Amino acid sequence: MILGELEKQVLNQLWTTGEADAKQIHAALGEAQGRSLNTIQSTLDRLYKKQLLSRSKLGHAFIYRPRLDRSELIARLIRDITSDFVRQGSDSLMAAFVSLSADLGDEELDRLEALIRQHRSQSQEPS
Amino acid sequence: MIVGTAAHWLNLLSLSALLGFAVITLQSLTGPVFLRAIRRLAPAEQKWILLGWACMPWALTALVLLQGIALTPDAFGVAEGLLGSLHWHHADVFEFTGWHGWILSTAALWLSLRCGQFLFKHWRLMSQIRLLLSETVAGQNDGFRVLPTREAVAMTTGFVHSRILLSQGLLEQTSQNQQSVILAHEQAHLRARDNLLRLLLTLMTAVLPDLAAKPLISRFSLVTEQLADAAVKQHHDAASIAQTLVQVARLRHAQTLPGQAAFIARQQLTERVYELLEPTRPSRGLQLLVLLALLLMALSALSAMDALHHLFDLFLIHS
């Protein structure tokens, strides 16, 4: 998922107000920046198609609400980066403490922990 | 048809491309054996050998180009290079429909395609990272920034001015000692400029087919992680570092959605834990053997170039 500058601003606005229609967002963001109502409407539509907003019709206008909060958006971004890595076959361009695409089962993690315990007890034994 | 200096340059470029194809084919065929052989070397030794392997097609191609610059065809249009690696007739005539033209256009197409793919992936990743960075907040000290999310993540981003990102979820679910291990590991990546090296390696291996490039990049990623783990051993014992690795993997496992992650990094984590507990000893003998094999491969590719040239001349239109 990639977000443009205006998309981020619209999301921020909706996180603050909770819900709004295109005219309200335009009044808050668009007018000061010289953006048209059409630009704001298409930005809201793009965010809706990216499944970041939900909308319901009220009269002739759509009311938009954020589907994710900030924390959930970051989690989704991390998952997107992860799935890109998985597609590419490696964490090629970013160093992560534990590979972002790593997912070991409990059994394997238990086996590694047992190995670490064994190493600890061996190194504590008097030689 | 082009005649004169421009033809000389185009012929030279096509011969470089021919050598490039020869090296890439050799590397694709011998890559699995090479990767298996270097596993027994210490991570620091592996790192530079992997970079050398990735540089090989570019270095040999540059060598041929440099030779060609110094060459002047004689009165009969024959040019002869060092080691007999460059020897071609009609050096001052270039025919687009001849095999020189075909080789050159195929190489240009392949390079454009692979570089285009690389640039697109890089642009996409950087856009995502920029977005991620814009959502971070300052950490307890200048050493890192915090990602306000419940996911357990620690990473180093950026290639020149790199930054360490730790997630709120990770900070809440790990002890002070574990956080110190994680931070020291990420700082080791910063000092070694690992992200920049990974970028260079990915760029250099962009000319290789995916089947040959991916295992190479994956091995390099593992080796840089192992070296960062080893750097943490200056201040923490190996078992604590290994335990932190397993703990963070456990946190990530708990948060992974079903079907979200492929299990490609399973082997990597296991190898890191083993390397921490039982470090590989540097082996001068094996290292020399691998370097000798690389040198032999480079020489084989160089000597094969003239034979390939004549083989093409036998069956295809030259100019």
Residue A22: the pLDDT is 93
The shortest C-alpha distance from B67 to chain A (Å) reads 34
Long-range contact pairs involving B119-123 (C-beta distance under 8 Å, separation at least 24): B121/A84, B121/A88, B122/A93, B122/B199
Q: Which helix (H) or strand (E) element contains residue A11?
A: helix A5-17
Q: Is the ipTM of this complex over 0.90?
A: no
Query: Which residue is it, tokens 């053997």?
Result: B289
Among A97, A98, A115, select the one facing B277 at the smallest CB separation: A115
Q: Enter the tokens of residue A67.
A: 């589907």
Q: How many CB atoms lie within 10 A of CB B51?
A: 15
Q: How many CB pairs under 8 A join A and B?
A: 176
Residues of A in Cβ contact (< 8 Å) with B269: 98-99, 102, 104, 112
pLDDT at A123 over 90: no
**CA proximity to B239, closest of B253, B252, B229:** B229
Domain A5-66 = CATH 1.10.1040.10: no
The mean pLDDT of A104-110, rounded to a whole number, is 81
**CA proximity to B135, closest of B112, B104, B157:** B157
Interface of B with A in 39-78 (CB under 8 A): none
Residue of B nearest to A102 (CA): B265
Over its C-alpha atoms, chain B yields an Rg (Å, rounded) of 24
Residue B257: the pLDDT is 47
Which among B264, B272, B273 is the top mutation candidate for probing chain A, defined by the most A β-carbons within 10 Å of its own β-carbon? Answer: B264
Contact B152, B170 (CB under 8 A): yes
The mean pLDDT of A36-57, rounded to a whole number, is 94
Q: Which helix (H) or strand (E) element contains residue B164?
A: strand B163-167
What is the rounded average pLDDT for all residues in chain A? 83
> φ and ψ at B260, to 5 degrees?
-75, -45
Q: Enter the tokens of residue B289.
A: 């053997």
Interface of B with A in 178-207 (CB under 8 A): 182, 185-186, 189, 194-195, 198-199, 201-202
Residues 6+ apart with CB under 8 A from B38: B45, B46, B49, B50, B219, B290
Asked if B253 reaches chain A (Cβ–Cβ under 8 Å), the answer is yes
pLDDT at A86 over 70: no
The shortest C-alpha distance from B56 to chain A (Å) reads 20
Q: How far apart are CA A112 and CA A110, in angstroms?
A: 5
Residue B260: the pLDDT is 36
Residue B231: the pLDDT is 95
Contact B67, B11 (CB under 8 A): no
Q: Enter the tokens of residue B208.
A: 């290789």
**CA proximity to B37, closest of B290, B215, B260, B278:** B290
3-state secondary structure B125-142: HHHHHHHHHHCCEECCCC
Q: How far apart are CA B114 and CA A48, in angstroms?
A: 33
Residue B91: the pLDDT is 67
Among B154, B221, B243, select the one facing A91 at the smallest CB separation: B221
pLDDT at A117 over 70: yes
Q: How far apart are CA B265 and CA A86, in angstroms?
A: 9
Q: What is the pLDDT along chain B (319 residues), one digit of tens a residue?
A: 777 778 878 888 888 888 888 899 889 999 999 999 898 899 999 999 999 999 999 998 988 888 777 776 666 666 676 655 566 666 677 777 777 888 889 999 999 999 998 898 888 888 888 888 888 888 767 788 999 988 888 888 888 888 898 999 999 999 999 999 999 999 999 999 988 998 899 889 988 988 888 889 889 988 999 999 999 999 999 999 999 999 988 887 776 544 333 333 567 888 999 999 999 888 888 889 989 999 988 888 887 777 777 777 776 665 5
Residue of A nearest to B251 (CA): A103
User: B259 in helix, strand or coil?
Assistant: coil
Chain centre distance of CA B199: 7
Residues 6+ apart with CB under 8 A from A106: B250, B253
